[in-house]
Amino acid sequence: MAEKTLNPFEICQQQIKRACDQLGVEPAAYDMLKQPERVIEVSFPVEMDDGSVKVFTGWRSQHSTALGPAKGGLRFHPDTNFDEVRALSMWMTFKCSVVGIPYGGGKGAVKCNPKELSQKELERVARGFIRAVGDFIGPLKDIPAPDVYTNAQIMAWMYDEYSIMKGFNNPGLITGKPVEIGGSLGRNTATARGCTFVVREAAKKIGLDLKGATYAVNGFGNAGSFSAFYMKEFGAKLVACNDSKGGAYNPEGMDPVAVNEWKKEHGTVKGFPGSRDITTAELYALPVDVIIPAALENTITSDIAPNVKAKIIAEAANGPTTPEADEILNKRGVMVLPDILASAGGVTVSYFEWVQNLQNFYWTAEEVNQRLEKIMVSAFEDVYAMHLDKKVSMREAAFLVAVKRVVDAMRLRGWLS
């Protein structure tokens, strides 16, 4: 029987409602958290290279500012929509909350296909969007960052446009910038580092020695490839990985550095010397100790979950596990390290970048990584303690920790009676 399809907004509302019910908080708390404080929809004109004018639509959602200014990525995608942006801003609130950084959740999107735009058109879209939402964002109000199909260069254009609007430099407006204009060292690898720190701590709890342990990575992009590098540093062995064009499997192990070099040369991990191709379903069914989903959402379905043999699944991607699959994995005793915890390294180092921008004082890569490790380990311990105390899955525990912190802040600020 096919899984019931829920849109991301409905899934997020269910997760919040369940956490609110388990915590026994005031009904008004859920009423405030079940939707964003505000969502701005904008339409703005952009001159194309051929002289024509095209109108683009974009959104910026600010879910909760109870803990601090809104924070979250900004994506350029042809299939993005209002519900997706709202849901992603809500998840960002709890991702920030679970690691204890002083932000609420934000998310933005422009409905466009970057692959069909020239570099100059892309720049004009970026600048046009910031002009359209500029009065609603700011270093102490809402701080965007890169997301799907956006990057450091696009953040640089947006930072520059906002600075022109305000009449002075505002590097704290946006994170994920190039290091040369206020970006933080360590940001590019932060999601992967944060994820593997959490894997390491989880392995200790279940008595798994990562030295000699086996792992697979679904999605060998930025987060996936760097996760593989750091797992190698722990002594673990990569036996399988894949990307959108195919996979590579070798039970004897593969060097993630060599696999990454192969992908740079050939555009895919498929065909890596000594390996055979492997499907996504086959990858998840391998007898490995750890699997790191680092690709698209809804990758682990109710068809795949019954075949998972891994002891730990660490979600470096956002939303890789469907609700039905999550229930199956929980019943089977697989420790799923949820995305709001396992992939929070990126927003944590974005927070570091913002702090450095506000202070105009910059840290070394070693300082960034040490601070990241401290926060991720502490967050894991908080979630694991809730997991034991409430006898719930790690995903539910993460939501309980995160929702409680937001509700406590709302109560202290007088938003709840």
User: Distance (Å, rounded) from C-alpha 410 to C-alpha 29?
Assistant: 8
Grade residue 127 by pLDDT with cuts at 50, 70 and 90. very high
% the chain with pLDDT above 90: 92
The answer to the question of residue 59 being in a domain is yes
Per-residue pLDDT at 416 exceeds 60:
yes
Given 311, 342, 373, the domain boundary residue is 342
Q: What is the pLDDT of residues 394-409, one digit of tens each?
A: 999 999 999 999 999 9
Given this model, what pLDDT does residue 296 score?
Answer: 80
Per-residue pLDDT at 417 exceeds 90:
no
Q: Does 212 lie in the same domain as 164?
A: no
Q: Which one of 34, 107, 237, 390 is the catalytic residue? A: 107
Per-residue pLDDT at 173 exceeds 70:
yes
Q: Does 218 lie in the same domain as 160?
A: no
Q: Does 268 lie in the same domain as 143?
A: no
CATH code where residue 324 lies: 3.40.50.720
Given 144, 172, 200, the domain boundary residue is 172
The answer to the question of residue 253 being in a domain is yes
Per-residue pLDDT at 189 exceeds 70:
yes
Region 289-308: mean pLDDT is 93
Comparing 180 with 323, which gets the higher pLDDT? Answer: 180
Q: Does 198 lie in the same domain as 119?
A: no
Per-residue pLDDT at 62 exceeds 80:
yes
Grade residue 133 by pLDDT with cuts at 50, 70 and 90. very high
- Residue 397, both tokens: 């525990």
Region 196-220: mean pLDDT is 97
pTM of the predicted model, to two decimals? 0.93
Looking at the 3D structure of the chain, how many domains does it have?
2
Given this model, what pLDDT does residue 8 score?
Answer: 81
Q: Does 321 lie in the same domain as 214?
A: yes
Is 222 assigned a ligand-binding role in the annotation? yes
Residue 340 backbone dihedrals phi, psi, to 5 degrees: -65, -15
Domain that holds residue 312: 190-342
Per-residue pLDDT at 3 exceeds 80:
no
Query: Burial code of 217-229, b = ≥16 C-beta within 10 A, e = fewer?
Result: bbbbeebbbbbbb
The answer to the question of residue 27 being in a domain is no
The answer to the question of residue 363 being in a domain is no
Q: What is the pLDDT of residues 346-371, one digit of tens each?
A: 999 999 999 999 999 999 999 999 99
Q: Does 208 lie in the same domain as 166?
A: no
Looking at 55-64, 83-92, 127-136, which range is the least confident one?
A: 83-92
Q: Does 200 lie in the same domain as 332?
A: yes
Q: Does 209 lie in the same domain as 326?
A: yes
Given this model, what pLDDT does residue 2 score?
Answer: 57
The answer to the question of residue 20 being in a domain is no
Q: Give the chain as a 3 state SS string.
A: CCCCCCCHHHHHHHHHHHHHHHHCCCHHHHHHHCCCCEEEEEEEEEECCCCCEEEEEEEEEECCCCCCCEEEEEEEECCCCHHHHHHHHHHHHHHHHHCCCCCEEEEEEEECCHHHCCHHHHHHHHHHHHHHHHHHCECCCEEEEECCCCCHHHHHHHHHHHHHHHCCCCHHHCCCCCHHHCCCCCCCCHHHHHHHHHHHHHHHHHCCCCCCCEEEEECCCHHHHHHHHHHHHCCCEEEEEEECCEEEEEEEEECHHHHHHHHHHHCCCCCCCCCECCCHHHHHCCCCCEEEECCCCCCECCCCHHHCCCCEEECCCCCCECHHHHHHHHHCCCEEECHHHHCCHHHHHHHHHHHHHHHCCCCCHHHHHHHHHHHHHHHHHHHHHHHHHHCCCHHHHHHHHHHHHHHHHHHHCCCCC
The answer to the question of residue 1 being in a domain is no
Q: Does 251 lie in the same domain as 165?
A: no
Work out the mean pLDDT of the chain and round it to a whole number: 95
Q: Does 211 lie in the same domain as 151?
A: no
Grade residue 297 by pLDDT with cuts at 50, 70 and 90. confident
The answer to the question of residue 222 being in a domain is yes
Per-residue pLDDT at 386 exceeds 90:
yes
Per-residue pLDDT at 4 exceeds 80:
no
Q: Does 195 lie in the same domain as 167?
A: no
Q: Does 214 lie in the same domain as 149?
A: no
CATH code where residue 141 lies: 3.40.50.10860
Q: What is the pLDDT of residues 229-264, one digit of tens each?
A: 999 999 999 999 999 899 999 999 999 999 999 999
Q: What is the pLDDT of residues 14-49, one digit of tens each?
A: 999 999 999 999 999 999 999 999 999 999 999 999
The answer to the question of residue 217 being in a domain is yes
- Residue 148, both tokens: 């799907």
Query: Burial code of 49-62, b = ≥16 C-beta within 10 A, e = fewer?
Result: eeeeeeebbbbbbb
Is 184 assigned a ligand-binding role in the annotation? no
Per-residue pLDDT at 1 exceeds 70:
no
* Total residues found in the chain within this entry: 417
Grade residue 185 by pLDDT with cuts at 50, 70 and 90. very high
Given this model, what pLDDT does residue 6 score?
Answer: 63
Per-residue pLDDT at 273 exceeds 80:
yes
Given 342, 376, 395, the domain boundary residue is 342
Is 350 assigned a ligand-binding role in the annotation? yes
> Is 120 in the active site?
no
Is 95 assigned a ligand-binding role in the annotation? yes
